[in-house]
Each structure stands twice: as C-alpha cells, then as structure tokens.
Amino acid sequence: MSMLVKPQETLDILRRHQFSVQKKYGQNFLIDAHVLDKILDAADIQADDFVLEIGPGIGTMTQGLCRRAREVVAIEIDKELIPILKETLSAYDNVSVINADVLKTDLRGLISEKNAGKPVKVVANLPYYITTPIIMNLLEEQLPLHSITIMVQKEVAERMQIGPGTKEYGALSLAVQYYAKPEIVANVPANCFTPRPKVGSAVIRLTLHDKPPVDAKDASHMFRLIRASFNQRRKTLVNGLYNAPDLHYDKEQIAEVLKDMGLSEDVRGETLTLEQFAGLSNRLLTLNKTYDTLK
C-alpha cells in the first residue's frame, strides 16, 4: 500500500480520479508524514480503540488510524471522494466510510451500534469554515467521547485554550474548557498541505473531563450568559446581559449579583473566568423567580 502522505502520491491519485478540490468543503490534503505521525501520537490510538474520523479526504490519516486502531468509522461529506476512499482503504478490513454530513448524523446511535456506547476517540482535519459548529456539536451533545484530536486553523486552536483578559478569549474558549482540557500539541505550516491554505494550522487535543471543572446549576443558562456577554464585547457585562433577548434580568439585579461577587458593575465579560461565570449564573438563577421558564 503506497503512502498517501507523500506529495506525489496524493497528486497522482487526485489526477487519476479527475478530482477537483471543492472550496465549499474547505479541502486541503495533508502531505507531511511528520505531521501525520504527530496527530496519531497525540490521539494516543491503542489497539482496542474505536475511532471516529471526521473528513477523511482521500484517506491519508485514515490509513494510519486503521493500522493502530481496532475499528475506524470515517464520515465524509463529499460524495466525489468516496470512490477514492474505496481504493485507498481497500487493504483494510477494519474501516467503514459513511457519506454524510457529520452535523446531521446520529453520532450517539453510531457509537452505540459500533462501540456498545463506550467512549470513543475522535480524530479530524476540520475545514476552517465549519470548525466551531462541529466541535460544539461534539461537546454539547455530551457523547461518550474520550478525546478529540483535531487539526484546525491556528488562531482557532489558540482561542480554545486561552484565558480571560485577551481579545481572543470568548465563548468558544469557555465552552471548550467547560467540557474538556485543551492542549495544542503541534503547529503546522501551510506548506504541509495541498492545495496550500492561506493560514497556518495547529493540532489540538481536547481530553474530555469526567465532570465539569465548575459547578453550574444549569449549564445551558450559564452559556446563554456567556454568549450574551460576548455578543456585544464593547458593552459592560450589565448591559450585555440586560439587552439579551433570551434573558430576563434587569440591570439592578445583575449589578447586585456582581457586587456580591466582588466585581464592579462596569466589568466586561472578557475578564471573567469560567468559575466566575458559573457563580454569576447560579446567583442569578437564585434571584430570578422565573427560573423554570429559563430552562
């Protein structure tokens, strides 16, 4: 079996199948063996692991996963890549390819069927345009996952692990850190792909928490507060929450809770830690008599 990670092999198979890269799918194929090994090592794939791969492309990383894991299921949205995958993965009997949109796929049912509902490892080279929706879908669905090891745009990876007080810090940072421990394991320059993307990439591993690191009485309520506070970054937290259409607090309530937490009423959301957002959420729920309508 030829190594697809070699640039010439990748170009040859694309030409042979007369495949045209689809910009709408953000397709960039990895052609660096060193980076491939870093991803596989970071994912810590063991012989008994079930792996869910999102966006296998032409099967470059899939081949490596098949050599290490018990079973691999790869979900690919582009039907034009299915014949290529059939060829490149023909030597492996432990892989299944599903032609589908991962955001419309019953992943819980898939994991239940293929791995008896036990935690799986997700590995992916995600298209930049849909990185955040896919990550949030995986996390918010609270699927039985052990880890998510993904290649994403470098600035998105940095945003996931950054702390408060910077312009990059936001709702994605807080959401990822609530569900998982993020760790950037490698930076990947643009010349490691064909076609070459305009920005650099990074490999980040998200190791799922056994339980959240903060005690939020209602996580969905906490994340409504978080989204509202970052939707209008230039506004104070009081104004951001007061103007949010799906929250029902007046300014006096919010200011009272912030004072109780030792925070100024002029504070902005980007300065609060995840723990502070959890505390704010819990206190507001206690104050608000219409709590049940917010769930």
Largest Cα separation within the chain, whole Å, is 68
Residue 156 lies in a domain: yes
Asked if 177 and 110 sit in the same domain, the reply is: yes
The CATH number linked to 279 is 1.10.8.100
Asked if 12 and 107 sit in the same domain, the reply is: yes
Domain count, the chain: 2
Residue 213 lies in a domain: no
Asked if 177 and 244 sit in the same domain, the reply is: no
Residue 288 clears pLDDT 90, i.e. is over it: no
Give the closest residue to 238 by CA, choosing from 217, 276, 264, 273. Answer: 264
Would you mind telling me the total number of residues written for the chain in this entry? 295
Domain end: 169, 189, 208, which one?
A: 208
Asked if 156 and 31 sit in the same domain, the reply is: yes
Give the closest residue to 26 by CA, choosing from 55, 4, 65, 64. Answer: 55
Asked if 53 and 190 sit in the same domain, the reply is: yes
> Which of the four pLDDT bands, split at 50, 70 and 90, describes residue 294?
very low
Report the chain's mean pLDDT, rounded to a whole number: 91
Asked if 59 and 195 sit in the same domain, the reply is: yes
Residue 214 lies in a domain: no
Residue 179 clears pLDDT 50, i.e. is over it: yes
| Integer Cα distance of 254 and 251 in angstroms | 5
Contacts of 49 (CB under 8 A, 6+ apart): 68, 69, 70, 120, 121
Residue 2 lies in a domain: no
| Integer Cα distance of 88 and 85 in angstroms | 5
Token reading at 264? 């100024």
Asked if 104 and 149 sit in the same domain, the reply is: yes
Residue 267 clears pLDDT 60, i.e. is over it: yes
Domain end: 152, 187, 208, which one?
A: 208
Asked if 43 and 163 sit in the same domain, the reply is: yes
Q: Give the tens place of pLDDT for each residue, 182-240.
A: 999 999 999 998 888 888 999 999 999 999 999 999 999 999 999 999 987 788 999 99
Q: Give the tens place of pLDDT for each residue, 234-261.
A: 889 999 999 999 998 999 999 999 999 9
Supply the range of the domain harboring residue 22.
7-208
pLDDT cut 70: percent of the chain above it: 94
Asked if 272 and 204 sit in the same domain, the reply is: no
Asked if 240 and 270 sit in the same domain, the reply is: yes
Token reading at 159? 């945003």
Asked if 119 and 231 sit in the same domain, the reply is: no
Of all helices (H) and strands (E), which one includes residue 11?
helix 7-16
Q: Give the tens place of pLDDT for each residue, 79-113.
A: 999 999 999 999 999 999 999 999 999 999 999 99
